[in-house]
Chains A and B, each alone.
Chain A
Amino acid sequence: MSRSASGLRAWLLQRLTALYLAGFFIYLILYFHFSPPKDYGAWIAWVDDPLNGVALLLFIATALLHAWVGVRDILFDYVPLFPLRLALLGLVGFALVACGFWSLRIILVPLLVRIW
């Protein structure tokens, strides 16, 4: 097994995504504290800004990756029974991917509707 296999790579991924998550949360808190969107239109406008939109999509990707490594670690620690662990890993992976597509739908559909 190469050295970059799941051990080091997962650990690095979790730390890098943690940095982005921390930075994005600080931005969100400051932004919504100082200029909270007043209505639905303002929300759409906020997401429609390319910088915010890309940052938000990146946030969803990093949050899902971060959650995947974290839950994977918990299952490695506490579920020694292989078939059960595999099933749970599959379930969590499926749920996270589903969350990803659901968020994409929430973010992109209003924008697409507006364009059409």
Chain B
Amino acid sequence: MKFRVYRYNPETDQNPYMQGFVVEASRGMMLRDALLAIQDQDESFAFRHSCGEGVCGSDGVNVNGVNKLACVTPVAELRETVVVRPLPGRPVIRDLVVDMSQFFTQYKRVEPWLKHRDPLPEQEITQTPEARDKLDGLYECNLCGCCSTACPSFWWNPEKFLGPQALLTACRFLEDSRDQAAEERLDALAGPYKLFRCHSIMNCVEVCPKGLNPTKAIGQIRARMLKGSL
């Protein structure tokens, strides 16, 4: 199976270039396995990966123009020649390894932890099954970054627009019955940039390896804001 991968080592290369590799595909082979096989052929080739089963979210890459998590992408589904590039819009550190610090900065800005104002109960804070169901489709995110780096609004304003991932997380805490800082969270999202740069392009929904829907979450946040301000 033919691959063309993006290569760039800022210490030795003047410009990035695409390098061709041939990998023998095996049954059930995932893209991560193919990248490992490429690394066997050329050990200077760099990419991030860890758990290999879609949990850690380390190996987000751009495959044939679409962001995917390499470890859960079967190579059999990919059109040859498979073109593998780093996630778009992020500074390249080396080959497929990009600098995701801005993405994580935006994640931190939504304060992704429960804020409970009342005195904490002796035991755990309980939740009804219905209240727990509201978190489904929001909590599963593994922060791979496929969504935010596929979002044109995030490409244009990565320092001001929070991006689909951070907004999905914001919604996750707004919807949580145990969180008591909804007003504060909504106030923090005010203004034309943090939330409202989203134009419902829905690239995020298309690429999410977990099948989550950040656009819907953003709509939920807007509905909450509207309710609170009318």
| Residues in chain A within 8 A of chain B (CB atoms) | 1-8, 10-12, 73, 76-78, 80
Q: Select from chain B the residue with minimum beta-carbon distance to A7.
A: B196
B119 contacts A by Cβ under 8 Å? no
Q: Is the CB of B196 within 8 A of A77?
A: no
Q: Is the CB of B196 within 8 A of A8?
A: yes
Complex CA distance for A11 and B199, rounded to whole angstroms: 10
B195 contacts A by Cβ under 8 Å? yes
Q: How many chain B residues have a CB neighbour from A under 8 Å?
A: 21
Interfacial chain A residues near B190, Cβ < 8 Å: 1-3, 5, 7-8
Q: Is the CB of A1 within 8 A of B191?
A: yes
Interfacial chain B residues near A11, Cβ < 8 Å: 196, 222
Q: Is the CB of B156 within 8 A of A3?
A: no
Given contacts A3-B228, A7-B191, A8-B222, 8 further A-B contacts (CB under 8 A): A1-B190, A3-B190, A5-B190, A5-B191, A7-B189, A8-B225, A76-B197, A77-B197
Interfacial chain A residues near B153, Cβ < 8 Å: 77
A–B complex contacts, Cβ < 8 Å, 24 sampled: A1-B190, A1-B191, A3-B228, A3-B229, A4-B229, A6-B191, A6-B192, A7-B190, A7-B191, A7-B192, A7-B194, A7-B195, A8-B196, A8-B225, A8-B229, A10-B192, A11-B196, A12-B226, A76-B157, A76-B192, A76-B193, A77-B157, A77-B197, A80-B156
